[in-house]
């Protein structure tokens, strides 16, 4: 009987000990699951949770996954990227011919996909009287909406070339960049002068309503100058006051660089005194043709959506593809301001 009493007393004391132990353990439980860094045995912080890259893991690794997607791409640094953009800017500025005498409208933004085109009548005189009762005003004859196409050219920068440039601390070869920039420049000039039959866009050479004159043989010294004189006279007679610009094919441009009779001066010098807007040559003029244009925004301009720059296209086999891209379209508002010699 005495033994049973001792056993019951022992059981009560054991239960009390278990309860005390549980109550002392519970406050410590939240600290085991609390967010934040854990302390290692040495007292340093070990980062728990967050992206794999924040935990010191390679990109693509994550806890609970058996496989990883590891990338070893070499990216361009800021200095290289600035050199690429600068190379594109300098190249297009040097190669673009149309923008040298045609004013730019814009840029309107990369998202601009169309622009209004107003067509105007020939220039007219202003009014003069005492009471201001005249009713004439400059206004468009019609308005069309024309698309602004993208003009672009892609190029590749190879993984091994980028790696070699970084390893040897040498400049990255940007030949492909300037080549792509020259290609888009030539395409824009082709759009300005020849238009795009596929997109229904006319150019300076084939705009409806332009003046057309027969060209003479410029291999004979003096004929080139006389043709330009006749074209300028035609434009002045119908109301255009200039300044005028002249664009010719490369062969005709070469013909102008000969001494004019017994003057001791090149023929092109007299031409430049006549057309103050400049004399230019363009390889997009495939045949012996010359264009005299009355400059001015009221006659024609170039609507630009986005100026040319480099965009990253993507990677393939660790090599990187880029795109030189811009958007523009010529707006010929007065085709009578163009005189084509052909």
Q: Give residue limits of the domains in the chain.
A: 78-125+140-341
- One DSSP character per residue, 133-174 reads --------SEEEEEE--EEEEEEEE-HHHHHHHHHHT-PPP-
- One DSSP character per residue, 306-335 reads EEEEEEEEEEETTEEEEEEEEEEEEEES-G
Beta strands in the chain (DSSP E): 38-39, 45-46, 104-105, 114-119, 142-147, 150-157, 211-213, 244-248, 279-281, 290-294, 300-316, 319-332, 338-341
| In contact, 223 and 216? CB cutoff 8 Å | yes
Tell me the C-alpha distance between 121 and 297, whole Å. 14
Measure CA 28 to chain center: 62
User: Bridge partners of 306?
Assistant: 327
Using pLDDT thresholds of 50, 70 and 90, give the confidence band for residue 1.
Answer: very low
Axis-axis angle for helices 267-274, 223-237 (nearest 10)? 10
Give per-residue pLDDT as tens, 184-230.
999 999 999 999 999 999 999 999 999 999 999 999 999 999 999 99
Residue with the bigger pLDDT between 36 and 231: it is 231
The per-residue pLDDT for 135 is 85
Joined tokens for residue 99: 């923008």
Residue with the bigger pLDDT between 19 and 267: it is 267
User: Bridge partners of 330?
Assistant: 302
Helix, strand, coil percent values for the chain (each to nearest 5): 35, 25, 40
The per-residue pLDDT for 205 is 96
Nearest 5°: the CA angle 63, 69, 74 is 125
Tell me the C-alpha distance between 118 and 75, whole Å. 46
Tell me the C-alpha distance between 100 and 293, whole Å. 12
Q: Which helix (H) or strand (E) holds 203?
A: none
Nearest 5°: the CA angle 72, 73, 79 is 135
Measure CA 72 to chain center: 29
Residue 99, helix vs strand vs coil: helix
Q: Is the pLDDT of residue 231 over 90?
A: yes
β-pairing verdict for 150-157 and 319-332: antiparallel
Beta strands in 17-169 (DSSP E): 38-39, 45-46, 104-105, 114-119, 142-147, 150-157
The per-residue pLDDT for 156 is 96
Q: The domain at 78-125+140-341 falls in which architecture?
A: 2-Layer Sandwich (3.30)
Tell me the C-alpha distance between 139 and 301, whole Å. 17
In the sheet that holds 319-332, the strands lie side by side as 104-105, 300-316, 319-332, 150-157
User: What is the total residue count of the chain?
Assistant: 342
Q: Full-prediction pTM beyond 0.85?
A: no
The per-residue pLDDT for 255 is 95
Give per-residue pLDDT as tens, 272-318.
999 999 999 999 998 899 999 999 999 999 999 999 999 999 989 98
Q: Is the pLDDT of residue 129 over 60?
A: yes
The per-residue pLDDT for 30 is 41
Give per-residue pLDDT as tens, 42-73.
333 333 333 333 434 434 334 444 433 434 45
Q: Which residues make Cβ contacts (< 8 Å) with residue 303, sequence separation at least 6?
A: 105, 106, 108, 115, 148, 328, 329, 330, 331
Q: Is the pLDDT of residue 248 over 90?
A: yes
Give per-residue pLDDT as tens, 63-121.
444 433 434 455 788 899 999 999 999 999 999 999 999 999 999 999 999 999 999 99
| In contact, 45 and 38? CB cutoff 8 Å | yes
Question: How far separated are the first and last CA of the chain, in Å rounded?
Answer: 134
């Amino acid at each position: 009987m005495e033994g049973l009493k001792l056993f019951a007393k022992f059981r009560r004391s054991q239960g009390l000990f278990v309860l005390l132990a549980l109550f002392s353990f519970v406050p410590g439980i939240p600290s085991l699951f609390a967010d934040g860094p854990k302390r290692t045995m040495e007292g340093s912080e070990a980062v728990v949770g967050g992206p794999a890259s924040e935990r010191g893991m390679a990109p693509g690794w994550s806890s609970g996954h058996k496989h990883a997607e590891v990338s070893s791409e070499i990216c361009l640094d800021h200095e290289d990227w600035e050199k690429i953009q600068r190379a594109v800017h300098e190249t297009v500025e040097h190669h673009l011919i149309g923008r040298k005498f045609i004013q730019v409208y814009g840029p309107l933004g990369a998202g601009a996909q169309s622009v209004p085109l107003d067509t105007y009548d020939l220039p007219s005189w202003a009014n003069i009287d005492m009471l201001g009762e005249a009713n004439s005003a400059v206004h468009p004859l019609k308005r069309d909406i024309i698309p602004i196409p993208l003009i672009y050219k892609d190029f590749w920068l190879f993984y091994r070339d980028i790696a070699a440039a970084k390893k040897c601390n040498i400049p990255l070869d940007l030949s492909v960049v300037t080549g792509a920039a020259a290609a888009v420049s030539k395409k824009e000039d082709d759009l300005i002068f020849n238009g795009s039959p596929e997109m229904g866009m006319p150019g300076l050479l084939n705009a409806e309503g332009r003046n057309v004159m027969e060209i003479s043989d410029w291999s004979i010294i003096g004929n080139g100058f006389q043709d330009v004189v006749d074209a300028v006279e035609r434009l002045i007679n119908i109301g255009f006051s200039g300044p005028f610009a002249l664009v010719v094919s490369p062969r005709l441009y070469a013909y102008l660089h000969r001494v004019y009779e017994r003057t001791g001066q090149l023929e092109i010098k007299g031409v430049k005194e006549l057309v103050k807007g400049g004399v230019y040559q363009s390889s997009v003029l495939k045949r012996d043709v010359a264009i005299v244009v009355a400059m001015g925004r009221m006659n024609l301009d170039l609507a630009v959506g986005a100026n040319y720059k480099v965009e990253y296209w993507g990677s393939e086999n660790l090599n990187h593809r880029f795109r030189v891209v811009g958007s523009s379209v010529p707006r010929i508002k007065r085709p009578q301001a163009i005189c084509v010699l052909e």
